[in-house]
Structures are given as C-alpha cells and as structure tokens.
C-alpha cells in the first residue's frame, strides 16, 4: 500500500539548510506536501516553512512539537536528516568530539522521534532516519561516524517492530558518498580520500527516497551498488581492510600489492585462486645476507588454507609469508625442481612443478621489495579428467566446451571457464535470456572493450550474484550465493 499525498500531508525535515536535508525539503515541497524545515541556520532558499531550532536541545524539541500541534494538528512524515561527519582515528578523536557527534547523529534522532511519536501514531505516518552505508560496514578514520550510524540502523530496525502495530513505518535510508559538501563540515584532523566524479547527486537521492516513502520501503540504498561494497567488506575483511589502509595512508610502508594480487589470483587460468584474507606483514623477515636452509626456505609462516574443488576433485589453496628475497628463493626452486616451468616477471614467479604423472603443483610468489617478506600461494592441481560435470547453476552457452570449474565450499561460490564458438555478443545475449528465465536481472553497466563483453547479474530469491565475461572465444563466470 502506497503512502497517500494530500493537501493536509505534513513533513518535518531536520537539517534542511543544506545537503540532503535541503534536497529532500525541495522534493517533498514540489509534490504538494507541507514541509516544515528545521535547522540552526536559515537556508538560502526555503522550501515550504522554516523553523529555527537546535534539535540537540530539549527546549527546541518541545518547541517543534508545539508548532506542529498548534499550527497543523498533525505530522505525517518525520525525516531525521541532521547530522555531521568525523574524519579522525580513534586515537586522534577528542572525547568532546565523540560526545558531540553522538549527541547530534543519534541521541537527537531518538529523542526527537520520541517527542513526535504520538502525532505519527495518529496519522499512521512514516519515520525516515538518514543513516549511511557506513552504518553497515566499518570505515577506518571514520570510526565515530560509523558508530553513530550503526546505532541509527539498529534503532530504526527495532523501532520499526515496535510501532508496526500502530501503522507507523520506519525507513532506514543508507546513502553512500553524496556530493553535498558533507566532508567540508565534518570534524577531525584528516582529509577524506577523493571520490571519482565527486560523489553522487543529492537531488537523485531525494527522488529515490521519496519513491521509497511512497512505497513504504524498509531500507533505501543509494547508490544501490553500495550493497556490493558492504558484502565485500563482510565477506573479504582482509582485502577490505588492506584497501582502506592504503586509501587512508595509515601505513606508508604498506606494500602496494592489493590490486596486483587480486588481479593475478582472480584472472590467472593456471592458479585459479581467490584471496580470502591477507596476512599481517612483518618487515623483520628480510634476507640480510644470512645463510638459507633449502629445506625450510619455502616453508611459509602464518599459513592459511582454503579448501576448494576443481572439476569435482578436492584440493587446498594455502597462503603464507616466506622470509627471504625472491631471488634467493628462485635459486632454491631451480635447485630443487630443475625440470619445473617458470614464468618470471618483475615481482612475481609462477612455478609449475610436476609431482607425479597426474599430479602438479602451482606455486605463486609475489615480492614487494627487499624490505618485505614474500607472499606465497601454493596449490596442488588434481589429475585431469576427461569428463567435466558442469554445475547446473553456472550458465553455459550453446556450442561451448567446459574447461574447468572451481568450487569454494566455505564461501559458497563457484568460478568456471569454458571455450565457445559464439561471438561475445551472441554468447552474452544467450546468457541474458537464460538467466532472465530463472529470475536473474542484469545490473546497470557492463564490461565492454574492443573484444570483450561482460555483465553483472543479481537474483533476489535466493540472494545471489553472478559475473560473466566473454573474450576471444573464452568465457569466464563467477557465481556467489549470498544467502543459502
């Protein structure tokens, strides 16, 4: 059931002097709704009516209740939009700044909502709490802001259950980086990293949130692809943390290997591996001219393992750190495995070692300079099979031949590759038609180059994502079940 819009509909919007609050006030006002904008400073352009108030003060919150009761006698929409950001590490953040940001971002939201809830119950209205995608994932140097938004998310979800029987809806709005000048008004000593294209648009967010209010949504993400960022942060916390450490420049000694490692392990048809967690580095492990024991030189420390299935056969991907420089390790490899095949680049060595007639081992070494240990990935390749039982949930265009598939049981995800006689355009069109019949929907945007075509898909029930690419007669597909 949609929320109706009449001449008597009244919306109170806090933080209406700028940014998202100003855009929302303008949007609701253009739709014929009586808007009561609230802020400490008068906006340049007033949409509807404006009341000067500081919502952190109990007396000002009481004033707002009296204004609504005496002037309109009702309230249909409460938009808690006032807030501020913080760019500082927990060590840098002063206690007064932490209390101030919680006072505005959370306590004022809860207290004002409690003050106005009787009016919202009478009208069976809607409470819209402007949280953030930072309320669903942690962000270094924004810990205080994230904590307030996590609190708002939990508050919204619990409040929704409590007021449902009164016909009141609670929307948790979760915008990402929106171009509103938000960072210029934030507290803290740090400057936020640049966002490509300067962030998204406040007016578009207001349009989407207005539609979400009309449709009585529970959560509104903007942009929608931030849900994938949240999934990445929760599923691959090591990669996410290392990326943030680099972005925020928290450790200038950090090896710049994140993108190179992910690229090698996601795209290499030889290794076919995924990074699920990254090791803590140790700069004391450099080779300082000491002798090397060949028996232990390739034994990594901090070893992690990830079970996987290749073409139906079980194996294990291992990851660890080797405390020697790559040149010394390469000499040992040549000594121990003279018949192995080596692919040597500036900072990487890929060794293809034959263990027996049907068993092979792949060893990938990545160097980040003499100051850092080597990152080592090792995997035993199961014997080749003549027949591949291709998983039914992975698309396979007509005229295609499966080459391999990999299943990561702990991650509930699959990766597959195949050859095809179709052109990239034909193969992609056929896959879109097949997936559409099974409830999959393509996500806006696609990977398009001179000889490559790709598409990203999502399915709601059960929730899953899929990425598929075609180039030069080869298809690659990745499938992830987010909810079993």
Contacts of 359 (CB under 8 A, 6+ apart): 380, 381, 382, 383
The Cα 63–Cα 75 span in angstroms is 14
The Cα 62–Cα 76 span in angstroms is 18
Contacts of 66 (CB under 8 A, 6+ apart): none
For the chain, the farthest-separated pair of C-alpha atoms sits apart, in whole angstroms, at: 89
- Residue 126's beta-bridge partner residues? 77, 169
Report helix, strand or coil for 17. coil
Strands in 195-256 per DSSP E = 219-222
Tokens linked to 71:
């002037």
Catalytic residue, candidates 39, 47, 86, 131 = 131
Catalytic residue, candidates 27, 136, 145, 405 = 145
Tokens linked to 311:
């073409």
Residue 47 in contact with residue 81, Cβ under 8 Å?
A: no
Residue 455 annotated among the catalytic residues of the structure: no
Residue 350 in contact with residue 363, Cβ under 8 Å?
A: yes
The Cα 189–Cα 333 span in angstroms is 49
The Cα 214–Cα 2 span in angstroms is 5
- Residue 445's beta-bridge partner residues? none
Catalytic residue, candidates 17, 47, 86, 413 = 17
Residue 52 in contact with residue 61, Cβ under 8 Å?
A: no
At 361, phi and psi to the nearest 5? -120, 140
127: burial class by Cβ within 10 Å (0-12, 13-18, 19+)?
Answer: buried
Type and span of the H or E element at 121: helix 108-123
Contacts of 289 (CB under 8 A, 6+ apart): none
Residue 226 annotated among the catalytic residues of the structure: no
Residue 149 annotated among the catalytic residues of the structure: yes
Tokens linked to 401:
């031949």
Contacts of 367 (CB under 8 A, 6+ apart): 325, 326, 347, 348, 374
For the chain, how many residues are written? 484
Rounded to 10°, the helix 237-247/226-235 angle is 110
Question: CA angle 330-332-337, nearest 5°?
Answer: 95
Catalytic residue, candidates 87, 132, 136, 149 = 149
Closest listed residue to residue 104, CA positions, set 85, 118, 128, 77: 85
Residue 18 annotated among the catalytic residues of the structure: no
The Cα 169–Cα 21 span in angstroms is 20
Contacts of 271 (CB under 8 A, 6+ apart): 264, 265, 350, 362, 364, 377, 379
As annotated, the active-site residues are: 17, 131, 145, 149
């Amino acid at each position: 059931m949609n929320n109706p819009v009449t001449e008597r509909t009244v919306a109170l919007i806090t933080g209406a002097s700028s940014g998202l609050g100003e855009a929302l006030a303008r949007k609701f006002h253009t739709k014929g709704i009586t808007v009561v904008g609230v802020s400490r400073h008068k906006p340049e352009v007033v949409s509807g009516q404006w009341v000067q108030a500081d919502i952190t003060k109990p007396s000002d919150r009481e004033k707002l209740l009296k204004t609504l009761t005496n002037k309109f006698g009702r309230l249909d929409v409460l938009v808690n939009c006032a807030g501020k950001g913080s760019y500082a590490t927990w060590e840098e953040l002063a206690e007064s700044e932490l209390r101030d940001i919680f006072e505005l971002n959370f306590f004022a939201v809860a207290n004002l909502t409690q003050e106005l809830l009787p009016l919202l119950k009478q009208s069976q209205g809607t409470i819209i709490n402007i949280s953030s995608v930072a309320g669903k994932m942690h962000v270094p140097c924004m810990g205080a802001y994230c904590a307030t938004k996590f609190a708002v998310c939990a508050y919204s979800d619990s409040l929704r259950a409590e007021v449902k029987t009164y016909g009141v809806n609670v929307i948790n709005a979760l915008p990402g980086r929106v171009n509103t000048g938000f960072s210029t008004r934030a507290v803290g000593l740090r400057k936020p990293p640049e966002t490509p294209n300067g962030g998204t648009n406040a007016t578009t967010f207001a349009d989407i949130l207005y539609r979400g209010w009309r449709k009585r949504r529970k959560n509104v993400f903007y942009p929608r692809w931030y849900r994938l960022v949240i999934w990445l942060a929760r599923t691959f916390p090591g990669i996410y943390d290392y990326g943030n450490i680099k972005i925020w420049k928290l450790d200038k000694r950090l090896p710049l290997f994140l993108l190179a490692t992910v690229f090698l392990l996601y795209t290499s048809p030889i290794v076919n591996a995924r990074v699920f967690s990254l090791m803590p580095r140790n700069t004391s492990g450099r080779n300082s001219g000491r002798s090397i024991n060949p028996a232990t030189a390739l034994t990594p420390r901090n070893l992690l393992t990830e079970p996987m299935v290749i073409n139906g056969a079980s194996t294990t991907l291992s990851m660890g750190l080797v405390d020697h420089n790559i040149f010394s390790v390469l000499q040992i490899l040549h000594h121990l495995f003279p018949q192995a095949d080596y692919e040597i680049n500036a900072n990487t060595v890929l060794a293809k070692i034959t263990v027996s007639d049907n068993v092979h081992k792949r060893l990938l070494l990545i160097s980040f300079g003499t100051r850092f240990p080597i990152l080592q990935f090792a995997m035993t390749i199961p014997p080749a099979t003549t027949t591949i039982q291709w998983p039914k949930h992975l698309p396979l265009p007509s005229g295609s031949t499966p080459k391999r598939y990999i299943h990561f049981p702990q991650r509930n995800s699959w990766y597959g590759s195949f050859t095809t006689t179709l052109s990239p355009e034909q193969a992609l069109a056929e896959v879109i038609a097949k997936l559409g019949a099974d409830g999959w929907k393509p996500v806006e945007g696609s990977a398009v180059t001179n000889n490559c075509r790709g598409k990203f898909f999502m399915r709601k029930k059960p929730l899953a994502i899929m990425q598929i690419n075609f180039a030069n007669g080869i298809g690659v597909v990745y499938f992830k079940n987010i909810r079993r």
